[in-house]
């Protein structure tokens, strides 16, 4: 059994009347990626802020790399790298200056700082931009520099708060590769995300949180099975036939159908692909619903939420402390 590098139990945190966390438990074993998945306002950022010593919880306990976060925050800070929306870099300094400053503040020797800075800039393809102020960087370059900053001391545990939010698909893919590579090298990663696809792709373990509590946890496979696996989605050409289409799909699928009138689409969970498309098209045709588009897709975070909580993931402004 590999040792637990991140442990949190019963975390509570309120900001005035807003209860950001209400008894949150998390855990990650060495060298694994834990994805904390949830909508805006679920408490993701507050959880990460507590684990990275930035915020003190009202109740509960937490340890990182076996060190108590509340009792020994400075010792924890030597073991972690942090990247994300809340811990920013200096806009005015260049990429190289930012990394240099952070390396020195981690108390690395001057020679090590210089070498590490050069290595990281190269690895993250930022060498050409290294001597430009950060405010000239694109979103993707900034995220890469963020991650480089988190890796300055090769920490055993890193925290990434929504590392791909705002990135284009190419930037997102390259960020995924970098994160997966870290875990292969033995680093424990806790990352937050709003995208099920991202968690699916990277996570060894997923914790779905809502209203400051973990409402589901497991591997991506377990989670998707709990939602009903892949979904068959059909777009029909006539809104009046939506209800007919819903009835048809419910005889084929393995869950109640989800109807979206705005996009004239109906979706339903399916257990396997075998023969499903042919049967669906034939049955829909017989019911007089003409198919514009049909295909399989993975469940979205919305559907995970719908299935676990019985309601869609909603946006709430409970996340950001001052």
Partner 1 sequence: MTSFAWWLRDSAEMVGRNLIHIKRTPELLLDVTLSPIMFVLLFSLVFGGAIETGVEYTDYLMAGIFVQTIAFAGIYTSVLLANDLQKGMIDRFRSLPMSQSSVLTGRTLTDLMRALLAIAIMWIVGMLVGFRPTGGIVPSLGAIGIMLLFGFALSWLGVAAGALVRTPEALQGIIFAVVFPLTFVSSAFVPTSTMPDWLQWFADRQPMTLVTDAVRSLTLDGAGGPAAIPAILWSVGILVVVFPLGLWLYNRRTTQ
Pick out residues in 102-141 that bind partner 1 (CB under 8 A). Answer: 102, 104-107, 133
Does 297 engage in binding with partner 1 (CB under 8 A)? no
DSSP state, residue 163: T
Minimum gap (Å) between residue 88 Cβ and partner 1: 4
Does 78 engage in binding with partner 1 (CB under 8 A)? yes
Query: Which span (72-80, 111-119, 179-187, 273-281) binds partner 1, by CB under 8 A?
Result: 72-80
Cα-based distances in Å from 190 to 111, 150, 251: 30, 12, 40
Pick out residues in 30-49 that bind partner 1 (CB under 8 A). Answer: 49
User: How is residue 205 written in tokens?
Assistant: 């373990």
Query: Which span (52-60, 182-190, 272-280, 293-301) binds partner 1, by CB under 8 A?
Result: 52-60
Does 317 engage in binding with partner 1 (CB under 8 A)? no
Report the C-alpha gap between 109 and 99 in whole angstroms. Answer: 13
Question: Which of 7, 38, 55, 313 contacts partner 1 by CB under 8 A?
Answer: 55
Does 87 engage in binding with partner 1 (CB under 8 A)? yes
How many residues bind partner 1, per CB under 8 A?
Answer: 32
Is 39 within 8 Å of 194 (Cβ atoms)?
yes
Minimum gap (Å) between residue 207 Cβ and partner 1: 21
Minimum gap (Å) between residue 193 Cβ and partner 1: 19
Is 133 within 8 Å of 92 (Cβ atoms)?
yes
Determine the longest span between alpha carbons in the chain, in angstroms: 75
Is 289 within 8 Å of 245 (Cβ atoms)?
yes
Cα-based distances in Å from 90 to 33, 95, 145, 195: 28, 9, 11, 28
User: How is residue 312 written in tokens?
Assistant: 């869609």
Does 68 engage in binding with partner 1 (CB under 8 A)? no
User: What string of DSSP letters covers 100-141?
Assistant: HHHHHHTT--HHHHHHHHHHHHHHTT-TTTTTSBGGG--HHH
**Judged by CB, which is closer to partner 1: 92, or 317?**
92
**Judged by CB, which is closer to partner 1: 75, or 180?**
75
Does 15 engage in binding with partner 1 (CB under 8 A)? yes
List contacts with partner 1 (CB under 8 A).
Answer: 15, 49, 52-56, 74-75, 77-78, 80, 82, 85-93, 97, 101-102, 104-107, 133, 321-322
């Amino acid at each position: 059994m590999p040792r637990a590098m991140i442990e949190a139990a019963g975390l509570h945190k309120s900001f005035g009347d807003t209860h950001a966390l209400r008894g949150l438990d998390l855990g990650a074993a060495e060298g694994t990626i834990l994805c904390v998945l949830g909508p805006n306002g679920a408490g993701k950022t507050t959880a990460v802020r507590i684990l990275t010593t930035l915020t003190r919880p009202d109740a509960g306990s937490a340890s990182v790399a076996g060190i108590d976060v509340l009792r020994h925050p400075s010792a924890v800070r030597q073991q972690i790298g942090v990247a994300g929306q809340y811990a920013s870099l200096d806009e005015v300094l260049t990429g190289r200056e930012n990394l240099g400053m952070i390396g020195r503040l981690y108390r690395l020797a001057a020679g090590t700082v210089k070498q590490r800075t050069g290595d990281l800039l190269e690895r993250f393809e930022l060498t050409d931009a290294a001597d430009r102020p950060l405010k000239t960087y694109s979103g993707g370059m900034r995220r890469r520099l963020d991650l480089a900053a988190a890796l300055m001391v090769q920490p055993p545990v890193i925290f990434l708060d929504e590392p791909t939010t705002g990135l284009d698909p190419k930037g997102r893919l390259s960020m995924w590769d970098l994160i997966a590579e870290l875990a292969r090298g033995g680093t424990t990663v806790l990352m937050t995300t709003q995208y099920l696809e991202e968690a699916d792709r990277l996570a060894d373990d997923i914790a779905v949180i809502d209203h400051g509590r973990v409402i589901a946890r497991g591997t991506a496979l377990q989670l998707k099975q709990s939602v009903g696996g892949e979904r068959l989605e059909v777009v029909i050409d006539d809104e009046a036939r939506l209800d007919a289409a819903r009835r048809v799909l419910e005889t084929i699928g393995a869950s109640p159908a989800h109807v979206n009138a705005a996009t004239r689409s109906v979706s339903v969970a399916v257990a396997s692909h075998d023969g499903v498309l042919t049967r669906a098209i034939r049955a829909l045709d017989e019911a007089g619903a003409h198919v514009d588009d049909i295909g399989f897709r993975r469940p979205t975070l919305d559907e995970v939420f719908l299935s676990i909580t019985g309601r869609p993931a909603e946006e709430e402004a409970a996340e950001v402390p001052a």
